[in-house]
Each structure stands twice: as C-alpha cells, then as structure tokens.
Amino acid sequence: MKVVILAGGLGTRISEESHLKPKPMIAIGDAPILWHIMKGYSYYGFNEFVICCGYKGHIIKEYFADYYLHRSDITFDFTNGNDMIVHNNVAEPWKVTLVDTGLHTQTGGRIKRIRNYIGAEPFLCTYGDGVSDVDISKLVEFHKSHGKIATITAVQPGNKFGVLDIGENQVIQKFTEKGKEEGGWINAGFMVLEPEVFDMIDEDSTVLERKPFETLASMGELVAYKYDGFWQCMDTQRDKQYLERKLEKGDAPWVKW
C-alpha cells in the first residue's frame, strides 16, 4: 500500500521559515518533519511514498537526490580524482516518487494528479506537517474491517480546528472543516482511502476536506478512527519549538525507530 504525502502548500502560518523552504522541509531536530513522517510509516512496513510537491518542490527533490549527503558521513578525496567515500551508509528501504502537483493546487487536486502513480488500489494519505504515534497497521486493519471508502484518524486537540460529527459505528455524519465546538474530533490526517475517492475530485481547485469528504459523509462512507494518543501538527513556530523540545528531552512519542 502506497503512502501519499501532501507536501505542496505555502505554509503561510510559519512564514518565518517557509519563505525559504516548503513547510514539510522545516527541520525538527536534525531532519525535516517530512522525514519524521516517513520514518513513522516505514516503521510499520509502508515504504513506498508518493509525495505531492508544489511550493518550492525542487527543495524536496534535491533533499532526496542528495540523501546520502544529508544523512551519512562523507569523505571527499581531492587528491585521488575527486572521489567521494560514503561512511556509515545511511540507506532507507524506501521508494520515493516526487510529483509536481502545481503551485496553487488544492489538496483534492493534488491527490487527483497522482492517480496514475496509485492505480486502482487503496492508499494511505497524510499531511506533510503532522506527526503521531498512531499504529498504522491497526489503522489499516480498522479500515479493512468496515469496508467503507475512507477512514480518517480523528483526535481531540481542542477547539482550534474544524470538527467531525461522529455517529454510531464511528461513521462520520457531517464534516465541518471550520467549526468552533470545544472538545470536537478533528481530522488529523493519517487516512486510508479507496481509489473511488479519485472520481469524487473534480479539478485542481477541489479541496479534499470539503466537497469530496462532505459527499462521503452524506453517503455514510467516511469513517473515523478515534485516536487518543499523541498527535501534533506543525502549524506555527510555536508548534515547531514544542516538537523540538520533546525531541531534545527524549520524550517524542512519534519516534519509534
């Protein structure tokens, strides 16, 4: 099962750094948050990634093109024909496809554009700015158990985000992207989607969390995987600092590798 990561947004709320690089490339510790997300999926055996690039996508491509330079010790021997020796060769069991999905394309449009790389198979999908210690294997098992088109990991971070109205059997009855209710369940990403989702996306301007998800909710095909463990998005500089403090203290629940 492939993992789709939405990594093309402008990241305007953390513009202190996103004016230089895409938000998924902002570092937590010594590695981009995108790397942390990928390591989390890889821990559960999901190693094939399709990354939806957009704003400054070339920086993401350059990072993976020079992955050894970023993650390994290197010796450049200029006395012997400019040889490069890679020490403690850091390799990942990953296959990474980087797709330019447009500068201003919305979340749904980005997913539509990578359809050829997914085919007629279910796929995992998440945002390139949030980490969690959710068990991806259990998430996939849950998705398969209910037989619906889409599963969203739902968390309760407070009233900062839009909310999900969850009814019986965890079926989402309503998807309200900008609600204000306190204590509501919100979309934390870490989704499992069936290929039928592609047909529900009209164009580049389609926001996944609006018409497609609202339609799925009205059909009873959008299900919540309620999760009360750790989840944190990196929406602001304050969020970044919070994640870095947890990493420095050795209290980073998302780090399982």
Q: Are 124 and 41 in contact (CB under 8 A)?
A: yes
pLDDT at 76: 86
Backbone angles phi, psi at 111, to 5 degrees: -65, -40
pLDDT range class, residue 163, cuts 50, 70, 90: low
pLDDT at 62: 95
pLDDT of residue 218 exceeding 80, the answer is: yes
For residue 217, give the amino acid letter. A
pLDDT range class, residue 77, cuts 50, 70, 90: confident
pLDDT tens digits along 18-35: 778 999 999 999 999 999
Paired with 27 in beta bridges are 32
What's the mean pLDDT in 150-165?
79
pLDDT range class, residue 41, cuts 50, 70, 90: very high
pLDDT at 159: 55
pLDDT range class, residue 183, cuts 50, 70, 90: low
What's the mean pLDDT in 169-188?
71
Which token pair is 15? 């513009």
Q: Are 23 and 14 in contact (CB under 8 A)?
A: yes
pLDDT of residue 145 exceeding 50, the answer is: yes
Q: Are 7 and 59 in contact (CB under 8 A)?
A: no
In terms of pTM, does the model score above 0.75? Answer: yes
3-class secondary-structure state, position 125: strand
Q: Are 142 and 248 in contact (CB under 8 A)?
A: no
pLDDT at 181: 46
Would you give the DSSP letter of residue 23? G
- 3-248: CATH homologous superfamily? Spore Coat Polysaccharide Biosynthesis Protein SpsA; Chain A (3.90.550.10)
Distance, CA of 193 to chain centre: 13
Which token pair is 68? 């050894």
Can you tell me the distance from the alpha carbon of 118 to that of 34, in angstroms, rounded to the nearest whole number?
20
pLDDT at 14: 77
Give the angle subtended at the CA of 46 by the CAs of 45 and 49, to the nearest 5°: 150
pLDDT of residue 180 exceeding 50, the answer is: no
Can you tell me the distance from the alpha carbon of 110 to that of 95, in angstroms, rounded to the nearest whole number?
19
Q: Are 69 and 47 in contact (CB under 8 A)?
A: no
pLDDT of residue 148 exceeding 80, the answer is: yes
pLDDT range class, residue 161, cuts 50, 70, 90: low
Picking from 72, 50, 63, 70, the residue whose alpha carbon sits closest to that of residue 22 is 63
Neighbours of 216 (CB within 10 A): 23
Point out the least confidently predicted range of 46-60, 80-94, 209-223: 80-94
Domain boundaries, the chain: 3-248
Tokens 């971070």 belong to residue:
157
Point out the least confidently predicted range of 24-28, 46-50, 153-157, 177-181: 177-181
Q: Are 149 and 199 in contact (CB under 8 A)?
A: no
Q: Are 43 and 78 in contact (CB under 8 A)?
A: no
Sign of CA dihedral 16, 33, 192, 183: negative
Q: Are 236 and 244 in contact (CB under 8 A)?
A: no
Supply the mean pLDDT for the chain.
91
